[in-house]
Structure 1
Amino acid sequence: MGRPVELDVLHGSGAGPRPTLYLLDGVDAEGVSDWLTKGHAEDFFADKPVDVVLPAGATGSMYTDWQHPDAALGWNRWETFLTGELPGVIEPYLRSDGRRAVAGVSMGAQGAMMLAHRHPGFYRAVAGLSGCYSTVDGPGSAITALTVASRGGNVMNLWGPIGTFDWLTHDSTVGAEALRGTVIYLSAASGMPGTPDLTEVLKSPNILAALQAAGGGAVLEAGARHCTEHFAKRLSELGIPATVHYEPTGIHAWEDFSAQLGPAWDALATAVAPVFGR
């Protein structure tokens, strides 16, 4: 991409070599991964036998290769970076055992699933938390376009006009057959605020702003729930196994995302660290 890409590494427990988990951020993805600053990933993985790689700086990028440079978001070639450049550098440094998984939240969930279906067998397991996995149906194309536009990007620079070939080839629902043999974990909440969400609102110095943010988070999570149900249905129709978890309450917020790390790791570990588990 013609620029340095910063990332953090959480070194796993126990003697190596260990598997590698690439953990993708949401739409902001700036500086340091929100998985570290908001998602409690460092504490969660402290005793897990896996090295976790957390790239930063993918704001609004969908973790994909763009057709054109963008005035706001720059030149994005994240698929090439994450599958073609980074593993060959970071895995020898970590002395990886060659087993790898990819997971993400929100935009990162969609990115993780796209990487997995577009590179069959490259990852043993994939987890998507509160994501949307279609790019060509109505809600999926709208959410993808809104994700890019929300950070000032021009969606025409992404894959060209909506509904054209590159949009189709990045649709994990369309490309789901390529996930056969990959361990899959999906989760989403209902969009109804739960106790952690209300507690965060009460802790905020600006209750009104926090309530407005929670309202937006409720809408986003309801959309993610619809997308997840649609994708899970497609996997079921194809006879592709997946672990799918639906929370009765929860919005599109980090307290809810971090609560899914445990169940997601339980599923991923069956493919990359079956002896150790959670």
Structure 2
Amino acid sequence: MLLSIAMVLPLAAGLPAEAPSVAQPSAAAALAPPIVQNVVWLTDRRVALWVASPSMGVPIQVQLLLPRDWNTRPDARFPVLYMLDGLRAANDESGWTKDAGAVDFFADKNVTVVLPVGGQSSFYSDWLEPNNGHNYKWETFLTKELPPLLESQWRATDVRGMEGLSMGGTAAMSLAARNPGFVKYAASYSGFLTTLTLGMPQAIQFAMRDAGGFDSAAMWGPPTSREWAEHDPYELADKLNGISLYLSSGSGAPGLYDQASGIPGVSTNYAGMGLEILSRLTSQNFVTKLRDLGVPAQVNYRQSGTHSWPYWDFEMRQSWPQAAGALGVDPGKLACEAGGAIGAVVAANGWLGECVTGEYQVSGGVAQDFKGGRVFFSPSSGAHTVGGAIGAGYQAAMGSAGPLGLPVGGERPLPDGRGTLQDFQNGALYWTPQTGAQVVRGAILQEWGRQGYERGPAGYPIAPEVKTPTKDGAVQAFENGPFYYSEKTGVHHVHGLILGKYAQMGYENSWLGFPLVEEQPLKDLGRFIGFEGGNLYWSPVSGVWAVQNGPVMDAWREAGYENGKLGYPISDQFPIPDGVQQNFQAGFITVRDGKPEVHSI
């Protein structure tokens, strides 16, 4: 609290009068296009992207809450609402989904919500130099690198809004001002809207040190640098004309979501009280500047409330009608109801919540979206819910238009108590917390089932089935090794140390090709798997080695394989003058001019 009070006291002093020129973001992003490295569906309408940022040089996670009509209007494009986090932004998830109710609130809203993850103490700006292990270039990432990806791959339009809390509120105003035409709407909830007021640079430095050990000089240089003024919302106020603005802050007094302390008028959230007083004072100065400039803004000064998430969640909801108007979308809930077979399923599954769409056509049937998931129906498959992590996997697999088809049953727990399963017309989705939701289908599902499904040697699937890159076949990874498939060889499981050798040799791209049989036991606890081009053998004494079809294999077979006088192989085949050789436990085989010779010890 002492820091908070110290930050508040100097604010009555005058503000810098010189208006800065608007700095342009770094052009580093033009050096290479950003790419999406990974996509993980979290639910059927919440997805995490890892975007390789050329300017920052690392993958940046961005989560999207997809719009209400994402499924009902597959050809439609939607406006975007950026939601920026606070000073202690975490690296795993945005505070808007972790500490506030953004997921539920936006479930029936027709915008794509963009949630950058990370950026602790960054003020979402381009820093002058790397610091504390980070090369922050957030302004470039958010305004130059990310928008083309959203528009080309995630059906976004160039109509954008931006709102944020605390540090994110400061950034929402500065980014809107520094990037003319980028947003039509900007909102600050408890933001600090002057950065150069007497004492503010020192307070920001202290706060950044406390939140992650960052140095504000690496961000904008010393307080005398023009970079400070060029990121100060107060100094940039004239650049905000024409943007729909929403500004709010509490008073610092205990409010509905605060716990009173023993001191009258003081909550137990001492730091939050001081920080909200600071936000109120800076916001008031900023609003005065806007009014002097004739720049309109909607201002909501609450009579109470500290610097904490319940109030920012409230402001997210309170400001939505204005955001919706600026972005050109309907602010209210779409009128809908569930009836017929779908209605009966909804009545039995309260977790689905309210409908957000009416029924709409999908491949093979109809569907309806709810806050908690979806219901699919066809006369042949019946009506079944799909939601949660299984719903995410189904969406990632293109839903009913993908390889699975429609659901034919509900999600159910598996006997091991670890995973769940849902059956579809052409396969199944399996889920565990460790492996995520994975599709298993066709010949691989049949063989996996023959071996005992998740209770068998392979365990659960950990990745989708994919085509093998250079040969006509497929592979799917499981916890204890993959299944390989080709039309010629069928489906076979490869695992353990034999899998390690197979990988070392190049999998099916090597002369081994695809597996022909399951792993077989041999003497002395040994094992082998036969492949198109030869076999892999393992024993505890000899290790894992490959024997290629041809003269060496023929000679070893005639000598009795591992049961004969040579025993197990102890090397791969290697060249010798005028031929090749392979060593075994009790001898070796050479081949010259196509003729093998067995040499036993």
Same fold? TM cut 0.5: yes
- The answer to whether 1:77 aligns with 2:116 is no
Q: Which residue of 1 aligns with 2:215?
A: 154
Runs of 4+ aligned structure 1 residues displaced above 6 Å come to none
Q: Which residue of 2 aligns with 1:47?
A: 108
* 1:9-28 alignment runs, 5 A limit: 9-14=64-69, 15=73, 16-28=76-88
Q: Residue 99 of structure 1 aligns to a residue in which SS?
A: strand
The offset of 1:197, in angstroms, is 1.8
Q: Which residue of 2 aligns with 1:131?
A: 191
Asked if structure 2 preserves the Cα contact closer than 8 Å seen for 1:134 and 1:141, the reply is no
Match for 1:239: what amino acid? Answer: G
**Aligned partners of 1:39, 1:88: CA distance in 2, in Å?**
28
Can you list the C-alpha shifts for 1:233-253, whole angstroms capped at 9, x where unaligned?
110110000000011111011
Q: Residue 299 of structure 2 aligns to a residue in which SS?
A: strand
Higher strand share: 2
Can you list the C-alpha shifts for 1:66-102, whole angstroms capped at 9, x where unaligned?
111112x511000011111011112322212321011
Q: Which residue of 1 aligns with 2:95?
A: 34
**Aligned partners of 1:97, 1:2: CA distance in 2, in Å?**
26
**Aligned partners of 1:244, 1:143: CA distance in 2, in Å?**
25
Can you list the C-alpha shifts for 1:209-241, whole angstroms capped at 9, x where unaligned?
xx75x1111111111111111111110110000
Asked if structure 2 preserves the Cα contact closer than 8 Å seen for 1:197 and 1:255, the reply is no
Asked if structure 1 preserves the Cα contact closer than 8 Å seen for 2:193 and 2:279, the reply is no
Show structure 2 runs of 5+ residues with no match: 1-55, 262-266, 333-601
Asked if structure 2 preserves the Cα contact closer than 8 Å seen for 1:102 and 1:127, the reply is yes
% same residue: 36
**Bigger Rg, which one:** 2
Q: Which residue of 1 aligns with 2:331?
A: 277
Q: Which residue of 2 aligns with 1:251?
A: 306
Q: In structure 1, which of residues 260, 263, 270 is the aligned counterpart of residue 315 of structure 2?
A: 260
Q: In structure 1, which of residues 94, 104, 115 is the aligned counterpart of residue 175 of structure 2?
A: 115
Q: Which residue of 2 aligns with 1:176?
A: 237
Q: Which residue of 2 aligns with 1:141?
A: 201
Q: Which residue of 2 aligns with 1:207?
A: none
**Aligned partners of 1:163, 1:189: CA distance in 2, in Å?**
31
* 1:232-247 alignment runs, 5 A limit: 232-247=287-302
Give me the CA root mean square deviation. 1.6
**Which of 1 and 2 has higher RCO (CA within 8 Å, sep 6+)?**
1
The two structures have a TM-score, normalised by structure 1, of 0.91
Q: Which residue of 2 aligns with 1:89?
A: 149
For this pair of structures, how many residues does the alignment match?
A: 265
Asked if structure 2 preserves the Cα contact closer than 8 Å seen for 1:64 and 1:78, the reply is yes
The offset of 1:139, in angstroms, is 4.7
**Aligned partners of 2:288, 2:240: CA distance in 1, in Å?**
14
**Aligned partners of 2:105, 2:279: CA distance in 1, in Å?**
24
**Aligned partners of 1:190, 1:54: CA distance in 2, in Å?**
27
Higher helix share: 1
The offset of 1:277, in angstroms, is 2.2
The two structures have a TM-score, normalised by structure 2, of 0.43
Q: Which residue of 1 aligns with 2:512?
A: none
